[in-house]
Structure 1
Amino acid sequence: MTDETTQDAAETLPAVQLDAWVREILRCPVTGATLVPGTGPDGEPELRSTDAERPLAYPVRDGIPVLLESDAREL
């Protein structure tokens, strides 16, 4: 597979695909706020905390949310 083919395949990957029941139980590990799907500045999927005082965004890598404070981005 060429680099161009790999890039084309990556561009067609779906955003965060989580079942509704999973989204309902996932919470920000720092604030306990609910998380909603979003897109980061690099175009990659992320989960965003709905906490108004300390909003954070967590990356989603290979379809798996990385809910580590050290990987979170402040909004």
Structure 2
Amino acid sequence: MTAGGEVNSATLGIDPALLAILACPDTHHTALTVDVEADELFCPTCHRAFPVRDGIPVLLLDEARQRPA
């Protein structure tokens, strides 16, 4: 959120400090990238997309969807 209480769409409402340390929960622990259009975090190594719900990333492998390489 910004100082005015608005959600920053570039970070999907996730605190930038938290976003900087988030990693894929799979064994390779690659840093995740933000996909604003899909409202999800994406792992470029395993091509999994993790949903972000109300600014909270859901980093469960069972909740992730596989995106084409």
Q: TM-score, normalised by structure 1?
A: 0.65
Q: Which runs of 5+ in 1 are unaligned?
A: 1-12
Residues in 2 aligned to 1:47 and 1:67: alpha-carbon distance in whole angstroms: 9
Q: Equivalences for 1:30-49 in 2 at 5 Å? A: 30=26, 31-38=28-35, 39-40=37-38, 45-49=39-43
- The one-letter amino acid paired with 1:46 is E
- The one-letter amino acid paired with 1:28 is C
Q: Which runs of 5+ in 2 are unaligned?
A: 1-6
Tell me the C-alpha RMSD between the 2 structures: 1.7
The aligned length equals 57
Q: TM-score, normalised by structure 2?
A: 0.70
Q: Larger C-alpha radius of gyration, 1 or 2?
A: 1
Q: Which has the higher helix share?
A: 1
Q: Equivalences for 1:50-65 in 2 at 5 Å? A: 50-51=44-45, 54-65=46-57
What percentage of aligned pairs have identical amino acids?
Answer: 37
